[in-house]
C-alpha cells in the first residue's frame, strides 16, 4: 500500500492510501462528511482528482480497498475479474479511461466486451472525474437486456415497476392500486410489493393474488414481494408462486451481514427460484436493491466513500445475472444525500456505474420528507435518467408511497417520460396492453370504457366487497 | 386541458385504499387540484419532521399510568444536528448515561420500553401510550421496567438504554419518517439483549402503527407474540419469523379502517 502526493497551487496534498484518494476525489455529499472522509476543501478535492487521473487502472488489481482475507465481496470481485476483457483497457490510467469512454471507439459492443474486465472500484474512480453529462453520455451507450416473462432494456424502451403498496398489506387495497397501474400501462418491469410485515403467510397470500390475476389475464410480466431472502426461500419451499427473488445488497461483507445475507445465501435463493422454471423468455430471477450510504449506515464501510461502496454492491449483483437492479437513490435520508443536487448526482453515478459493469439498472427516483428535496428535483432526475437510458423507474400511485412513507415517481410521471422521448414499453407487455384495450395501436392510453375487461375485474372487486 | 372523465368503477376503487388513485389526467399529467393536494400533504409532512417532542407531558402521563418513567436525551443537541448526524442520535448524552447507570435495579427487567421522537414527535405523542397501556395485560408475569422518554433519538439509542438498564428486551416506540398521508406513523423495534453495537438484522420491526394503519390492538398482539416467540427462541432478528395469526387480525384491521373512513 502506498500513499499519493499531489502538488496543487503551491501546496502538497498527501493521501494515505487508495481509499482515501477516492473519498477525497468524490463530489461532495453529506454521507462522506458524516464518515469523516470527505475532502476538507474544494482545492483538496481537485488535488485528489489530479492524482486519480494519473493512476493506472492496473493499480486497482494490486491494492484492495477492503482486505481480500476478511471480505467475501473483495474476493468475489478479484476472483471473477476477467483479465482478457481487461486487456484492451489495461494500459490506461483513470484519466485515460474517461477519455476512452467518451470516445466513439467505445461503442456499445466494445463497452459490453470490456464490462467483465472493469472492476467496480475502477467504475467508481472514473465516475468521480466525470460531469453529469459524461455520466449520461456513456451510460446511454451501454445496452443490457434481461428477460423473464418479457424483455427489459431494449433501446427505445422504458419499463416501470408497479409498486402498489398498502400500509396493512390489504389484498383488495393492493389490488386496486395494481389495477390502476396497469390501466396507466405500468408494470412491465415487475409488479413488486413491499409488504408492511415480515409475515410469511401474508407474503404467500400476496404472491398468490398477483399470480392468479396474471394467469387469468395472461399478463406477460413478473411479480415479486420484497421480503427478506430467507422468507422467499421458505415461500418457495411452501410451493408459493415465486417469480423473482428480492434482496437489498451492499458493497461489503459486513454490510451484507447487517442485512442478514451473504453470497452463499443469495446463491441458495437464486437456485430455489431457478428450480421453479417459471420464466418463459429467460431466467434472470434476481431483483436487487441498493443505495449509497447503506454500508456506512451499518457501520461497515471500512473507510470507503459511499459511492465506491455502492459500486462494489454492483459487483455483488452482477455475479447473479439479475433481471433488475434498482438504486433507491433518495430513500436513505439527508445524512447521506442531503438535498436534490446530491440525490441527482448520486442517481446518475449509480446508473452509470451499474450500466458500465453490465447491469440492468433502474432507479427509484425518490426522496424522503426530511431531505431538502421536492418533486421538482425528481422531475429533473427522471428527465436526465431517461435520456441516459434507465431501464425502469417506479410507478407509485400519485408518487406517494402510503406504506414506506416517501415520494417516488408516479404512473403519470411514466407517461411524461414516454411522451418526451417516445419511449415504448417492453414489447410483450406492449402487445398485451393493446390486446386488453388499454392502449391503441400507437401505444397511447385509450379512454377506458366500463366494458373493458380490467374494468369488469374492478367491478367484481367492488361487488365482492 | 383535457381532463379524462373518470367513470365508475375506476373512481370507486378509491374505497379500497388511501393511495392516490383515480386522480384523472390533464393530458398525461396530474390535474391541478390533485397537484395542490399533493403539495399540501408534503408541506404538512415537512412540518412534522421539525416538530419538538413534548417530553414532559409524556413523562407525566407514564407516571399517571403507573409506570416508572424518566427522560433522556441523545448526543444530538438539536434537530439540525440530529438530521445530519444519526450517529449522535444513537448515543446517549453524558448526563443521561450517568442517570441511567445510577438507577440500575437489583432485579433485571424483562422489558424496557423507550418512547422516542425519531422523525415524527407527533407519532410518539399520539400513539405510544395507547399502545403501551395494552401491553401489561398481554404479557402476564413479565417484569416491565421503566418507560424511557428519549429526545432526538434514533432506533439504536434503545440498545444503549436497554444495556444500561440490563433489560432482557428493549422495545422502542419511535416516530417513523413522515409520509404524506401519515405524518404520525409509529414504528416498534424489538431487540433482545440490547447493548451498543447491535445491528438492524438483530431486530424485529412492526411498522405503521396508527388508527388508520395497524391499529393499537393488532400492534399490541403482534408485539406480544413476537416477544413470547423471541423469549423461546432466545433471540430477535431475521431468525425470528412472524407466524402470528394475521388473517384474523387483518379482518379486524379492515373493519377498523372502514369505521374511520
Least CB-CB distance to B21: which of A176, A234, A462? A176
116-145 in B: which are within 8 Å (CB) of A? 119
Would you call A91 exposed, middle or buried from its count of C-beta atoms within 10 A (0-12, 13-18, 19+)?
exposed
CATH 1.10.600.10 fits A4-141, yes or no: no
| pLDDT for the residue A13 | 97
- Give B94's contacts (C-beta < 8 A, 6+ positions apart): none
Separation in Å, CA A450 to CA A59, A183, A184, A437, A440: 64, 12, 15, 11, 16
Residue B176 pLDDT > 60 = yes
- Any A CB within 8 A of B42 CB: yes
Provide the ipTM. 0.94
- Any A CB within 8 A of B101 CB: no
Whether the CB-CB separation of A394 and A361 falls below 8 Å is answered with no
Tens digit of each residue's pLDDT (9 = 90 or more) over B185-205? 999 999 999 999 998 889 999
Q: Flag if A398 and B212 touch (Cβ within 8 Å).
A: no
Q: Measuring CA to CA, which residue among A304, A305, A327, A323 is closest to residue A314? A: A327
Q: Measuring CA to CA, which residue among B165, B30, B217, B237 is closest to residue A257? A: B237
C-alpha–C-alpha distance, residues A19 and A252, integer Å: 14
The verdict on whether residue A33 carries a ligand-binding annotation is no
| pLDDT for the residue A465 | 66
Whether the CB-CB separation of A146 and A425 falls below 8 Å is answered with no
Q: According to CATH, what is the number of the domain B50-249?
A: 3.40.50.11240
Distance from CA of B254 to the nearest CA of A (A): 8
Tens digit of each residue's pLDDT (9 = 90 or more) over A229-251? 999 999 999 999 999 999 999 99
- Give B208's contacts (C-beta < 8 A, 6+ positions apart): A167, A168, A196, A403, B176, B182, B185, B186, B187, B214
Whether the CB-CB separation of B34 and A191 falls below 8 Å is answered with no
Tens digit of each residue's pLDDT (9 = 90 or more) over A148-157? 999 999 999 9
C-alpha–C-alpha distance, residues A162 and A292, integer Å: 23
Name the CATH superfamily housing domain A146-436: Aldolase class I (3.20.20.70)
Q: Flag if A201 and B199 touch (Cβ within 8 Å).
A: no
* b (16+ CB within 10 A) / e for B123-133: bbbbbbbbbbb
Give the mean model confidence (pLDDT) for residues A313-327: 98
To test the contact with chain A by mutation, choose from B1, B3, B9, B247 the residue with the greatest count of A C-beta atoms within 10 A, namely B9
- Any A CB within 8 A of B75 CB: no
Give the mean model confidence (pLDDT) for residues A211-223: 97
Whether the CB-CB separation of A394 and A366 falls below 8 Å is answered with yes
The residues pairing with A394 across neighbouring beta strands, listed in sequence order, are A161
Tens digit of each residue's pLDDT (9 = 90 or more) over A165-199? 998 899 999 999 999 999 999 999 999 999 988 88
All cell numbers assigned to A30? 453529506
C-alpha–C-alpha distance, residues A446 and B230, integer Å: 53
C-alpha–C-alpha distance, residues A374 and A163, integer Å: 20
Q: Flag if A369 and B49 touch (Cβ within 8 Å).
A: yes
Where do you find CATH 1.10.220.70 in chain A? Answer: 4-141
Banded pLDDT at B47 (limits 50, 70, 90): confident
| pLDDT for the residue A1 | 64
Write down the domain spans for chain B: 50-249
> The pTM is what?
0.87
- Any A CB within 8 A of B40 CB: no
| pLDDT for the residue B256 | 34
Residue B249 pLDDT > 60 = no
Give the mean model confidence (pLDDT) for residues B81-86: 90
C-alpha–C-alpha distance, residues A276 and A443, integer Å: 33
Give the mean model confidence (pLDDT) for residues B229-251: 70
Measured between beta carbons, the chain B residues lying within 8 angstroms of A410 are: 20, 30
Q: Please give the angle made by the CA atoms of B155, B209 and A224, to the nearest 5 degrees.
A: 85
Where do you find CATH 3.20.20.70 in chain A? Answer: 146-436
The verdict on whether residue B133 carries a ligand-binding annotation is no
* b (16+ CB within 10 A) / e for B98-107: ebbeeeeeee
Amino acid at each position: 500500500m502506498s500513499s499519493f502526493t499531489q502538488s496543487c497551487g503551491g501546496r502538497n496534498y498527501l493521501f494515505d492510501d487508495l481509499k482515501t484518494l477516492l473519498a477525497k476525489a468524490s463530489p461532495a455529499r453529506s454521507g462522506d462528511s458524516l464518515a469523516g472522509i470527505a475532502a476538507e476543501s474544494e482545492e483538496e478535492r481537485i488535488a485528489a482528482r489530479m492524482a486519480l487521473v494519473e493512476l493506472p487502472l492496473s493499480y486497482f488489481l494490486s491494492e484492495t480497498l477492503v482486505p481480500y482475507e476478511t471480505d467475501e465481496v473483495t474476493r468475489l470481485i478479484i476472483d471473477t475479474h476477467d483479465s482478457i476483457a481487461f486487456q484492451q483497457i489495461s494500459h490506461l490510467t483513470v484519466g485515460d479511461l474517461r477519455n476512452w469512454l467518451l470516445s466513439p471507439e467505445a461503442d456499445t459492443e466494445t463497452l459490453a466486451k470490456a464490462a467483465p474486465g472493469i472492476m467496480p472500484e475502477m467504475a467508481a474512480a472514473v465516475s468521480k472525474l466525470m460531469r453529469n453529462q459524461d455520466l449520461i453520455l456513456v451510460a446511454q451507450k451501454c445496452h443490457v437486456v434481461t428477460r423473464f416473462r418479457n424483455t427489459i432494456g431494449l433501446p427505445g424502451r422504458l419499463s416501470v415497476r408497479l409498486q402498489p403498496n398498502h400500509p396493512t398489506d390489504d389484498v383488495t387495497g393492493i389490488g386496486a392500486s395494481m389495477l390502476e397501474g396497469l390501466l396507466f400501462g405500468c408494470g412491465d418491469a415487475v409488479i413488486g410489493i413491499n409488504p408492511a410485515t415480515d409475515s410469511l403467510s401474508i407474503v404467500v397470500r400476496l404472491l398468490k393474488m398477483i399470480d392468479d390475476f396474471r394467469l387469468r389475464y395472461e399478463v406477460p410480466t413478473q411479480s415479486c414481494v420484497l421480503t427478506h431472502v430467507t422468507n422467499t426461500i421458505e415461500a418457495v419451499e411452501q410451493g408459493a408462486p415465486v417469480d423473482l427473488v428480492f434482496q437489498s445488497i451492499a458493497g461489503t461483507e459486513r454490510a451484507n451481514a447487517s442485512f442478514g445475507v451473504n453470497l452463499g445465501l443469495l446463491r441458495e435463493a437464486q437456485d430455489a427460484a431457478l428450480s421453479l422454471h417459471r420464466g418463459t423468455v429467460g431466467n434472470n430471477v434476481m431483483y436487487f436493491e441498493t443505495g449509497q450510504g447503506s454500508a456506512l449506515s451499518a457501520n461497515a464501510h471500512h473507510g470507503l466513500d459511499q459511492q465506491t461502496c455502492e459500486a462494489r454492491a454492483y459487483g455483488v449483483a452482477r455475479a447473479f445475472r439479475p433481471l433488475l437492479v434498482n438504486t433507491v437513490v433518495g430513500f436513505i435520508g439527508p445524512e447521506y444525500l442531503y438535498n436534490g443536487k446530491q440525490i441527482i448526482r448520486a442517481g446518475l453515478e449509480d446508473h452509470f456505474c451499474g450500466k458500465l459493469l453490465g447491469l440492468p439498472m433502474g432507479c427509484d427516483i425518490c426522496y424522503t420528507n426530511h431531505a431538502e428535496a421536492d418533486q421538482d428535483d425528481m422531475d429533473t432526475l427522471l428527465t436526465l435518467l431517461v435520456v441516459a437510458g434507465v431501464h425502469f423507474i417506479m410507478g407509485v400511485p400519485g408518487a406517494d408511497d402510503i406504506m414506506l412513507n416517501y415520494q417516488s415517481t408516479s404512473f403519470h410521471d411514466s407517461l411524461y417520460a414516454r411522451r418526451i422521448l417516445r419511449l415504448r414499453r417492453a414489447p410483450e407487455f406492449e402487445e398485451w396492453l393493446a390486446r386488453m384495450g388499454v392502449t391503441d395501436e400507437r401505444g397511447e392510453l385509450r379512454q377506458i370504457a366500463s366494458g373493458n375487461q380490467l374494468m369488469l375485474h374492478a367491478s367484481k372487486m367492488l361487488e365482492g366487497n | 386541458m383535457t381532463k379524462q372523465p373518470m367513470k365508475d368503477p375506476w373512481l370507486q376503487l378509491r374505497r379500497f385504499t388511501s393511495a392516490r388513485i383515480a386522480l384523472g389526467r390533464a393530458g398525461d399529467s396530474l390535474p391541478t387540484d390533485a397537484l395542490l393536494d399533493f403539495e399540501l400533504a408534503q408541506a404538512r409532512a415537512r412540518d412534522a419532521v421539525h416538530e419538538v417532542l413534548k417530553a414532559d407531558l409524556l413523562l407525566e402521563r407514564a407516571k399517571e399510568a403507573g409506570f416508572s418513567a424518566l427522560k433522556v436525551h441523545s448526543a444530538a443537541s438539536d434537530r439540525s444536528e440530529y438530521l445530519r448526524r444519526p450517529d449522535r442520535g444513537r448515543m446517549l448524552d453524558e448526563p443521561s448515561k450517568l442517570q441511567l447507570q445510577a438507577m440500575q435495579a437489583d432485579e433485571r427487567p424483562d422489558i424496557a420500553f423507550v418512547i422516542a421522537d425519531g422523525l415524527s414527535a407527533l407519532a410518539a405523542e399520539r400513539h405510544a401510550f395507547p399502545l403501551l397501556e395494552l401491553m401489561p395485560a398481554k404479557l402476564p408475569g413479565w417484569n416491565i421496567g421503566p418507560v424511557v422518554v428519549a429526545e432526538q433519538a434514533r432506533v439504536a439509542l434503545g440498545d444503549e438504554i436497554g444495556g444500561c438498564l440490563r433489560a432482557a428486551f428493549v422495545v422502542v416506540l419511535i416516530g417513523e419518517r413522515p409520509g404524506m398521508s401519515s405524518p404520525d406513523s409509529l414504528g416498534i423495534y424489538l431487540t433482545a439483549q440490547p447493548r451498543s453495537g447491535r445491528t438492524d438484522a438483530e431486530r424485529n420491526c412492526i411498522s405503521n402503527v396508527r388508527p388508520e394503519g395497524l391499529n393499537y390492538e393488532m400492534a399490541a398482539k403482534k408485539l406480544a407474540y413476537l416477544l413470547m416467540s423471541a423469549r423461546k427462541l432466545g433471540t430477535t432478528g431475521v431468525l425470528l419469523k412472524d407466524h402470528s395469526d394475521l388473517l384474523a387480525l387483518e379482518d379486524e384491521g379492515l373493519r377498523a379502517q372502514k369505521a374511520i373512513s
